[in-house]
């Protein structure tokens, strides 16, 4: 089984894929082509995707039973001890405050530290 998902790709590429695969939803293609045809289709997708993104998932003989490839995605597949995982970029990195912290101890912490009330 092969699944190709296209996002923001030219209509001509979608038409090309319908020769070999069935489009079950807008930009989602499934089918069971041979390995040689699947690789040719993926090469064409990478060549003609332009500004679009593409994802290929297909069955294979490994621990997970499938593997996938990406084109122009922020998320990338990474092999981790024989299992393919998705590496997502960390977009929630906290930014340091711009000189909002004052040097030294606050008055409240000084009172707690030295027992003054």
Cα 112 to its chain centre, rounded Å, is 49
Task: Please give the Cα distance from 82 to 100 (Å, whole number).
Answer: 46
Q: Which of 46, 3, 63 is nearest to 27 (CA)?
A: 3
Tokens of 22: 């069935």
Overall pTM surpassing 0.75 (yes/no): no
pLDDT the model gives residue 102: 57
pLDDT one-digit tens code per residue, 10-30: 999 999 999 999 999 999 999
Continuous segment of H or E residues that includes residue 86: strand 83-87
pLDDT the model gives residue 103: 63
Which parts of the chain sit beneath pLDDT 70?
Answer: 93-103, 105, 114-117
Task: Please give the Cα distance from 109 to 94 (Å, whole number).
Answer: 25
């Amino acid at each position: 089984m092969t699944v190709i998902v296209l996002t923001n790709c030219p209509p001509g590429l979608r038409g090309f894929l319908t020769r070999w695969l069935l489009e079950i939803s807008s930009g989602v293609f499934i089918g069971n082509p041979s390995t040689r045809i699947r690789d040719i289709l993926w090469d064409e997708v990478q060549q003609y995707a332009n500004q679009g993104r593409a994802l290929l998932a297909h069955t294979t003989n490994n621990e997970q039973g499938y593997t996938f490839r990406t084109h122009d995605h922020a998320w990338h597949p990474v092999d981790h001890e024989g299992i393919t995982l998705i590496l997502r970029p960390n977009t929630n990195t906290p930014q340091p405050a711009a000189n909002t912290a004052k040097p030294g101890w606050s008055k409240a912490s000084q009172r707690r530290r030295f027992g003054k009330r």
